[in-house]
Structure 1
Amino acid sequence: MTYHLSKLCLLTLTALALSGCVTLHNGTTKAEKQQAILQMKNETLSQLFKLKPHTRSQLNAAPGYAVFSNANVNLVLASFGGGYGVVKNMSTDQHTYMNMGEVGVGFGFGAKDFRIIMVFDSAEVMNKFIEQGWLFGGQADAAAKASDKGAAVGGEAVVNGITVYQLTETGLALQATVKGTKFWKASDLN
């Protein structure tokens, strides 16, 4: 009984700690936070273009794209994550700042910091994402990276009119989980 109680407390504390990850962007003012998110977006896109040069033309031809920073922790049978990002409408140059949170079940152990790039196939898909924001899926991956050492395994998938790329920044994780991810507008940044 004590083992299960301590496990539940550890999972609860982890979930609470990760819920703070949603607002871990730098800055104290709205403008500073927006600038920090745009800097993360630009750095992530530079990394993506270096690894997959064809994606530059894909993004330029798309009606819009999104870039998110996410921290994820896997503890045996549960997975929790949180992050932030921005959607860019290519026809209006408008940015919509968003948050994300995820919870999952399945085998996993470790933690990782990764970036997600989403390329929208149509303006309708982009607008639906901004307004409704759900993305649900299974994930099986391995990541081993510490600082500039190790290897990052990036994924690519097409889901409901959205091409999704994942780049691992740091962490050590082995997981096979089914996750529910929620994206929503950051009311304090829009």
Structure 2
Amino acid sequence: MALVLAALALAGCATTTVTGGKTPAQKRAEIDRMARDTLDRLFEQNPPARTLYDKAYGWAVFDNLKLSLFLSGGGGAGVAVEKPTGRRIYMRMATAGVNIGLGGQKYQVVFLFQDRHTFENFVEIGLKAEAQANAVAGKTGVNAATGFTNGMAVYQLTEAGLMLQADISGTRYWPWDELNQHP
């Protein structure tokens, strides 16, 4: 239990550094800007991802900060977009686990959704990415994706560039109610 509480505390710290002290409108604008910049970087570093994006029903981008001190925890924010309607669903994410080591990593994750069903499941139910990470990756690894696996393609980018394998295991994604209530 103490491990879970410590990991959640780390996740809370990471999330507040991304969006703390801002109005909902400012948070949405910051998340939208991050998402545009991340997609631009993805298409520049992996041109085939553009073709897959063009075929996708929807997409989501998250900005994450993961910290490790024997326990790992992280958190972040993002947006999922339904392309046919332009509907935007702002979301949060958190990750927790046990890790040997000390440090931190900032990275972005891009999800591409093949169909409405996969997109809706992600935004309404959320995703507990453990077994799903392996199911999406298939045999070639997530960032090598040139097609959808189980309705999704996943890419992870760091400051150093596109990662060979995305690590989304132990991560949960869910709607951010505060940002989805528009006046």
TM-score band, normalised by shorter chain:
0.7 to 0.9
TM norm structure 1? 0.73
2: CA distance between counterparts of 1:129 and 1:107? 30
The yes-or-no answer on 1:167 pairing with 2:157 is yes
TM, length-normalised to structure 2? 0.76
Match in the other structure for 1:92: 85
Instruction: Report the equivalent of 1:51.
Output: 45
Task: Return the offset for 1:29.
Answer: 2.1
Q: Which has the higher helix share?
A: 2
SS at match of 1:34: helix
Q: Which runs of 4+ in 1 moved over 3 A?
A: 106-109, 157-160
1:74–1:109 contact (8 Å) kept in structure 2: yes
2:60 corresponds to? 66
Answering whether residue 92 of structure 2 is matched by residue 131 of structure 1, we say: no
Listed as ranges, the gaps of 5+ residues in structure 1 are 1-7, 140-153, 171-176
Rg comparison, structure with higher value:
1
How far residue 26 of structure 1 moved from its aligned partner, in angstroms, is 6.8
What count of residue pairs does the alignment treat as equivalent?
160
Residues 1-190 of structure 1 mapped to structure 2, 5 A cutoff: 12=6, 15-23=8-16, 24-25=18-19, 28-76=22-70, 78-137=71-130, 156=143, 160-169=150-159, 179-190=169-180
- Are the counterparts in 1 of residues 80 and 89 from structure 2 also a CA contact under 8 Å? yes
Which structure shows the higher strand fraction? 1
Distance, in Å, in 2 between the alignment partners of 1:28 and 1:101 is: 20
SS of aligned partner of 1:46:
helix
